[in-house]
Amino acid sequence: MTSVQAELSSARLFSESNTVLSHTLHARECGYSIIPLKGGRNRVTGKQPRISWQAYQSQKASNEQIENWFNAGISAYGIVCGEVSRLIVLDFDEPEAQTKFIQKFPQLTRTYIVKSGGRGMLHFYFEVDFHVKTTKIRGGDLKAEGSYVVGAGSQIAGGKWEVFNDAPVKQISQNELDEVLSVFGIARPVNLESPIESIPKTNSLNYFASIYEAFVQQFQGRNQALFRVGCMMRDEGYDFDTAKAILSQVHVQHPPVTRHKPETTFQRQREAYLTLRSVFKRPARPKSKIIATKAQASYVPNHLREVILRHKHGTAFLRVYEGLKLVGKSAGARVTERDIHTILTPHGIGRRSIRNALTFTPDTDTHTTYPLDEDMDSKMLQTATNTCVFVPTTKRDKSPSHRPPQEYIIPTIERLLDLFNIKSKGADPITLDDIQSVKIYRSALNRELIRRWVGKYSQVWLAERLSVCVRTVQRYIKFDCIQCQQILYATDITPDNIHQIPPKTHAPRAGITIQYCFLQDGTGKCYPPIQAIARKLMRQSISVQWIQRGCNLYWIGDKTIQSHIIFTPELIHVYWASKLT
């Protein structure tokens, strides 16, 4: 490279870095938390942070820090989502999902949009004033708390992230976000342990003001709380003027629970008026419908379910635990064996399963001590079987004629996560119909996974996830009428790659399995995966393909697959001979 070329290359790199820095400083001025990314020519590692970025999930870097990061010619940066930036981003990976979003929610497309430099998909930016968790949606991701997105102006692996729609970032309400998530396969779980259960219900109008305060803490948003309390008053028969008189002043005076730009009293009153007016535009919901939607599904984290299923009587515990949640029993409530039997017997859970659930003990040396009420006997605090997930308790006042029935405390999700030392990673819905039997319960877990995420799965992995054998998973697939398509990888055999076919005697020694491989000629006739057979067919001028079976594709519905053969330029087991050395 000549000196002139070197100067031009250096100038170009400086210009690109300077452009990225200007985009970065602009994002910083908008109030976003910025982190530097590796960039470079690798599309995967280029999106990784150059620094430890956990601290910038709660604080923002200064302009001086950003300039120091970019002095080395960094070509990419990330914008931290969540509460620190008051930002969430819809990141689509599939064109079908992106088109569906644009068609169903045209009002949400009038926001700031960035076009990805990788797949060319769009990133939709939204401002939020409530807590949102990062989650996987059908056809993409919802980037929120604990994640980041590549910012506009970044350049990675030859691709550039460009501003597609330079409009102000639109503020999205929680109702709008819930509607988007429901369309893309994620339903926000209903919190059965709501703080309003601790508020005594009265006919006093101050009751709804107390409910508003509880909802603000639960949903971390004043407008969301106002909307929900307004719906409650409308469904109870109150009119618009009464609801406005009660809730408007409370809404105006309540301080923000998260960082929020200053608002005048008139702005707060107008927000309350518009929210309540939208509530009373719709008719009141029937009483039966309100009750039915309270416990329509149980959402226990999938990772927690999978861990518990590996333990003895784990399935019995999950059926009983989720059954109690579905009938409205909240965590911390006390129940007896007779109570559980009366509640869950109509739903297919017998006495033996209930007893196994109440005595269920995880195979771990780490146990959590569950707090009991202050009126419990101090000896009970020391002798209670803390290893049992359902903690047995006994009331202090014992009758002289008989001992009272044994009571058990229903554990919370947080206690179970701590007990098994795992983190929550999403949950699939389970209904009362899904706990009728062990087979139906495990089958429902398998069905909801495939319903949520259509894709290729190994039957061995599906079996290990549910702690069953492969044959049982095959029965579950047939039981739930899950569509299945075999996926084959085909490679044309040529003189250049025929040596990659491992001889039958050498394959086991190289750690290669050829159990799911075979040869196929142009007429569709199949042969064993032997190199000598392939050479013989090629000498006869017969075209030969190496076929290897991959993981099956599963989905639910009437979707059809046009082709199930994937052509690859090289054999799946490439350079098998290198494994012999």
How confident is the model over 383-401, as pLDDT tens digits?
A: 333 456 776 665 444 445 5
Structure confidence at residue 125 as a pLDDT band (50, 70, 90): very high
Query: Which of 124, 203, 136, 135 has its CA nearest to residue 163?
Result: 124
Shared domain for 364 and 507, answered yes or no, is no
Query: How confident is the model at residue 140, as a pLDDT?
Result: 85
The residues facing 392 across adjacent strands are 408
**Could you tell me if residue 457 is inside a domain?**
yes
Q: Average pLDDT for residues 457-473, to the nearest whole number?
A: 91
Last residue of a domain, one of 400, 435, 470: 435
In the predicted structure, residue 368 carries a pLDDT above the cut 50: no
Our measurement of the distance from residue 432's CA atom to the centroid of its chain's CA atoms, rounded to an integer in Å, reads 22
3-state secondary structure of 186: coil
Shared domain for 236 and 322, answered yes or no, is no
**Could you tell me if residue 527 is inside a domain?**
yes
In the predicted structure, residue 379 carries a pLDDT above the cut 60: no
In the predicted structure, residue 542 carries a pLDDT above the cut 60: yes
Strands of the 391-393 sheet, one edge to the other: 334-336, 407-409, 391-393
Number of H helices, E strands in the chain: 19, 23
Q: Which residue has the higher pLDDT, 245 or 320?
A: 320
- The span from the CA of 351 to the CA of 320, in Å, is 11
Query: How confident is the model at residue 423, as a pLDDT?
Result: 83
Query: Which of 295, 198, 280 has its CA nearest to residue 233?
Result: 280
Which is it for strands 517-521 and 526-527: parallel, antiparallel or unpaired? antiparallel
Structure confidence at residue 507 as a pLDDT band (50, 70, 90): low
Decide: 47 and 37 in contact? Cβ < 8 Å: yes
Query: How confident is the model at residue 512, as a pLDDT?
Result: 61
Q: Which residue type sits at 388? A: C
Please give the tally of structural domains in the chain.
5
CA angle (555, 560, 562) in 5-degree steps: 120
**Could you tell me if residue 297 is inside a domain?**
no
Q: Which residue has the higher pLDDT, 557 or 337?
A: 337
**Could you tell me if residue 385 is inside a domain?**
yes
- The span from the CA of 319 to the CA of 300, in Å, is 11
Helix ranges (DSSP H) in 336-383: 337-344, 351-358, 378-383
Structure confidence at residue 318 as a pLDDT band (50, 70, 90): very high
| Span of 90-104, 119-133, 293-307 with lowest mean pLDDT | 293-307
The torsion angle over the Cα atoms of residues 310, 312, 314 and 316, rounded to 10 degrees, is 150
Query: How confident is the model at residue 85, as a pLDDT?
Result: 92
In the predicted structure, residue 194 carries a pLDDT above the cut 70: no
In the predicted structure, residue 21 carries a pLDDT above the cut 70: yes
Q: Average pLDDT for residues 366-393, to the nearest whole number?
A: 44
Torsion region of 494: left, alpha or beta (phi above 0 gives left; psi -120 to 50 gives alpha): beta
Highest mean pLDDT (candidates 107-116, 194-203, 355-364): 107-116
Last residue of a domain, one of 149, 183, 217: 183
Last residue of a domain, one of 263, 292, 321: 292
User: What percent of the chain is modeled with pLDDT above 70?
Assistant: 76
**Could you tell me if residue 5 is inside a domain?**
no
Query: How confident is the model at residue 564, as a pLDDT?
Result: 56
Shared domain for 376 and 358, answered yes or no, is yes
Query: Which of 137, 92, 89 has its CA nearest to residue 118?
Result: 92
Q: Average pLDDT for residues 291-297, to the nearest whole number?
A: 49
Structure confidence at residue 185 as a pLDDT band (50, 70, 90): low
In the predicted structure, residue 575 carries a pLDDT above the cut 70: no
How confident is the model over 435-453, as pLDDT tens digits?
A: 989 999 999 999 999 888 8
| Span of 251-255, 362-366, 436-440, 493-497 with lowest mean pLDDT | 362-366
Shared domain for 380 and 521, answered yes or no, is no
Shared domain for 19 and 63, answered yes or no, is yes
Decide: 332 and 373 in contact? Cβ < 8 Å: no
Shared domain for 102 and 160, answered yes or no, is yes
Query: How confident is the model at residue 18, as a pLDDT?
Result: 53
List the domain range (segments joined by +) for residue 238. Answer: 195-292
Shared domain for 128 and 67, answered yes or no, is yes
**Could you tell me if residue 7 is inside a domain?**
no
- The span from the CA of 163 to the CA of 154, in Å, is 11
Helices 351-358/337-344 angle, 10° precision: 130
Shared domain for 442 and 393, answered yes or no, is no
Query: How confident is the model at residue 521, as a pLDDT?
Result: 87
Decide: 77 and 151 in contact? Cβ < 8 Å: yes
Q: Using the CB atoms, write b or e for 77-103: b if 16+ within 10 Å.
A: bbbbbbbbbbbbbbbbbeeebbebbee
- The span from the CA of 572 to the CA of 581, in Å, is 19
CA atoms within 13 A on the CB side of 214: 16
In the predicted structure, residue 2 carries a pLDDT above the cut 80: no
| Span of 283-292, 337-346, 453-462, 568-577 with lowest mean pLDDT | 568-577
311: which 2 tokens?
A: 């333990």
Shared domain for 41 and 110, answered yes or no, is yes
In the predicted structure, residue 380 carries a pLDDT above the cut 80: no
Structure confidence at residue 372 as a pLDDT band (50, 70, 90): very low
Shared domain for 404 and 477, answered yes or no, is no
Which is it for strands 488-492 and 544-549: parallel, antiparallel or unpaired? antiparallel
* Mean confidence (pLDDT) of the chain: 77
558: which residues sit within 8 A by CB, 6+ positions away? none
**Could you tell me if residue 8 is inside a domain?**
no
3-state secondary structure of 141: strand
In the predicted structure, residue 17 carries a pLDDT above the cut 50: no
For 9-29, the three-class secondary structure string (H helix, E strand, C coil) is HHHHHHHHHHHHHHHHHHHHH
| Span of 123-127, 194-198, 310-314, 526-530 with lowest mean pLDDT | 194-198
In the predicted structure, residue 196 carries a pLDDT above the cut 70: no
| Span of 58-62, 69-73, 140-144, 341-345 with lowest mean pLDDT | 69-73
Residue 559, judged by CB atoms within 10 A of its CB (0-12, 13-18, 19+), counts as exposed
| Span of 27-41, 299-313, 552-566 with lowest mean pLDDT | 552-566
Query: How confident is the model at residue 320, as a pLDDT?
Result: 94
Query: How confident is the model at residue 4, as a pLDDT?
Result: 31
Highest mean pLDDT (candidates 281-290, 485-494, 510-519, 535-544): 535-544
Shared domain for 412 and 388, answered yes or no, is yes
99-108 contacts at long range (C-beta below 8 A, 24 or more positions apart) = 100/139, 100/183, 100/184, 101/180, 101/183, 101/184, 104/183, 105/176, 105/179, 105/180, 108/170, 108/172, 108/176, 108/180
Residue 401, judged by CB atoms within 10 A of its CB (0-12, 13-18, 19+), counts as exposed
Q: Using the CB atoms, write b or e for 231-257: b if 16+ within 10 Å.
A: bbbbbeebebeebbebbbebbbebeeb
**Could you tell me if residue 190 is inside a domain?**
no
Decide: 534 and 526 in contact? Cβ < 8 Å: no
Decide: 90 and 101 in contact? Cβ < 8 Å: yes
Which is it for strands 87-92 and 140-143: parallel, antiparallel or unpaired? antiparallel
Decide: 501 and 527 in contact? Cβ < 8 Å: no
Shared domain for 175 and 70, answered yes or no, is yes
Q: Average pLDDT for residues 224-251, to the nearest whole number?
A: 84
Structure confidence at residue 241 as a pLDDT band (50, 70, 90): confident
Instruction: Give the containing element (helix H, strand E) for 136.
Output: strand 135-137
Structure confidence at residue 86 as a pLDDT band (50, 70, 90): very high
197: which 2 tokens?
A: 């259960």
